[in-house]
Amino acid sequence: MALIKFAGVEESVITREEFPVEKAQEVLKDETVAVLGYGIQGPGQALNLKDNGINVIVGQRKNSKSWDKAIQDGFVPGETLFELEEAADRGTIICYLLSDAAQIEFWPTLEKYLTPGKTLYFSHGFGITYNHQTNIVPSKEVDVVLVAPKGSGTSLRRLFVEGKGLNSSFAIHQDATGNAKDKVAALGIAVGSGYLFETNFKKEVYSDLVGERGSLMGAIQGLFAAQFEVLRAQGHSPSEAFNETVEELTQSLMPLVAENGMDWMYANCSTTAQRGALDWWKKFYDATKPVFEELYQSVKEGNESQKSISSNSKENYREGLNKELEELRNSELWQAGKVVRSLRPDRQYEYEK
C-alpha cells in the first residue's frame, strides 16, 4: 500500500499503479467469485469482474427481473448463473450484495456454505456493524472483507466502460487465511476502483448512512425544495426556479468542483457570485451543522439501522416506498425538471407535454 497525505493526514491507499489488474488476476486465478444479488451493486461489480478476466458467477432468484437482467447481460443459467444457494456453494469468494434486509433474511441459509477458507465480501458495513440487529456473525474460519465503491453500481459500470474508475473504500474484518489483504486489494481493483482507501466496517457504514441521509441525497433534496419554493412564492416561473436551483448546479458548477475543487469553481464564477457565496456559506454551515451532528448520533446509536430494518422488512415495503417516491416525482420541482432535462441539446428525445 502507498502512504499518501490527504490535507496533511497520511493515509494508506491502494492504486492501480502498485496493484494492476494483472496482479489482481494472479491473486484470484484459482477463485470462483460468486456475486449474490443482481440489483443495485451486483450488475456493475459482476460485469467488471468478468471483463477483467475473473472467474465470476451470479446468484439470483429465478423468475425475477434481476434473473432476466443477468441473462441479458450475458450470464448463462447453469453455467455462470445459479440460484442463490448453488452459487454460494460453488463460490470460494462470496460477494454478499443483496439488500441489507435480504442479507438478514438469507443469512441463516448462507452460513452453512461459508466453509473454512472461504471469503465473505461486503460492499456495505451494515450487516457486520449492526450484528446485534442483523444477527450476521460469520465463522472465525472465513475471511471477511469489504470493498465499497463510492457511488452506484450503474456509475461503477459506466466509468469502467469509459476506461475510468470509481474510488472505493476497503476494510478487513477477519483474516482467517492470512491472505485477506491481497484478496481484498485484488477484488477492489478488479471491480473497477480508481483507487482504494482504507477504513473499517463501522466507519464505512457510519459515513455511508450519514452521507445518504445528508449531502448526497436527503439534505440536497431538502435544499433544492426550499430554494425552489421560495423562488416560486416570489413569482418566479417553474423553469426559472428550476434552472437557478438545480440545472445550473448539476450541469455547470458541480462538474467544475469535480474537476478541480470548490475554490476553482468559485474562481470561475462572476465576482458578484463569489462575493455572495463567501458571505452566505457560513450561515448555511451554522444552520445545518447541528442537523448533521444529530444525524451522526442517530446513526451511531443504531436508530437509523433499526428504522431501515423495520421498514425494509415489511412485505409491502416496495409499495410504500413507491408511494413516497411518487411525492417527489409529482412535485412541481421535479415535474419542471423533467421538461428542462428534455430540452438539453444532448437529449435525443422530444419534449414531453
Question: Which cell numbers in the block locate residue 120?
Answer: 465473505
Alpha helical stretches, state H, 111-246: 126-129, 131-134, 153-161, 180-190, 201-213, 218-233, 238-242
Coil, helix or strand for 15? strand
Alpha helical stretches, state H, 41-169: 42-51, 65-72, 84-90, 100-110, 126-129, 131-134, 153-161
- The C-alpha atoms of residue 139 and residue 111 are separated, in whole angstroms, by 8
Residue 132 catalytic? no
- The C-alpha atoms of residue 95 and residue 36 are separated, in whole angstroms, by 6
Question: Which cell numbers in the block locate residue 174?
Answer: 477477519
* Contact partners, residue 170, CB within 8 Å, separation at least 6: 14, 145, 146, 147, 148, 184, 185, 188, 196, 197, 198, 199
Which of these is catalytic: 124, 132, 173, 236? 124
Give strand pairing partners of 36: 59, 96
- The residues annotated with a catalytic role in the active site are 124
